[in-house]
Amino acid sequence: MKTIKYFVMVITAAFLFAGCGGSQVKVPAGMNKPTTLHISKEGNVYIFYLWEDVGGFRENKINIEKFGKNFNGIANYGLASGYSYMAMVNENFNNLSGYPINSWKAMYKLMNLPNENNHYNSGFYRYMLAANQPRFKVVFLKERPKGLFVWDLKQLKADTDKYSK
């Protein structure tokens, strides 16, 4: 009986963790990774999120400092790995589908829409607030593809270093 129980527990755990997806990645030398920053990889897509509550529905607002910390981690990881640019490939804002937000300055503005309650149902807010730990999907690039809105990692690092602590 104990064996069956043990078997059921193992299978359940396997199903639960299978949903997390992605393989863990090695932290590149020279990157000072925050302990709460989680990084995994699926194919050529990296997934970044913080083991921290960013607010979500309970606060009905976005915690910009924590988003900044996550984006700073993305910039540091990319630069330490030898990349210069990145494209976001999340469902609601996919730079490879032409989504034009490609800087922290623009992102910051997007997070501070006027009268946020009225914009609560926008795709961006719904995505951001739907999860307390939003996952940012990223494809890193060594060179800037002409005519595509991609993020400059050096600029992103400079803009978000203040959130790194």
Partner 1 sequence: MNALKTLILLIGLAGTSLMADYTTIITKTTPSMNGGKEIFFGTVGDYSQYVSEISKNIAKHGTLGAIDGMSKGAQALAKGFTKEGGNFVGAGAAIGIVVGLLDPYVMSLYEDQQYVLIRADKNGELEAIMFIGDKHPSLSDEEIHKILKNK
To the nearest 10 degrees (0 to 180), the angle between helices 153-160 and 64-80 is: 140
Residue 23 makes contact with partner 1 by CB under 8 A: no
Using rule CB under 8 A, residue 19 touches partner 1: no
Q: Least distance to partner 1 from the beta carbon of 68, Å?
A: 17
* Closest listed residue to residue 88, CA positions, set 78, 77, 99, 80: 99
Is residue 154 close enough to count as binding partner 1 by CB under 8 A? no
Footprint on residues 84-103 left by partner 1 (CB under 8 A): 87, 89, 91-92, 94, 96-103
81 interacts with partner 1 by CB under 8 A = no
Strand order in the sheet with 85-88: 23-24, 37-42, 45-50, 136-141, 85-88, 151-152
148 binds partner 1 (CB under 8 A): yes
Which residues, 28 to 57, sit near partner 1 by CB under 8 A? 43-45
26 part of the interface to partner 1, by CB under 8 A: no
For residue 156, the tally of other CB atoms under 10 A from its CB is: 25
Give the phi and the psi of residue 37 in degrees, each rounded to 5: -85, 125
Partners of 158 in the beta sheet? none
Is position 129 an interface residue for partner 1 (rule: CB under 8 A)? no
Interface residues with partner 1 (CB under 8 A)? 43-45, 87, 89, 91-92, 94, 96-103, 106, 109-110, 113-115, 118-119, 121-124, 126, 139-150
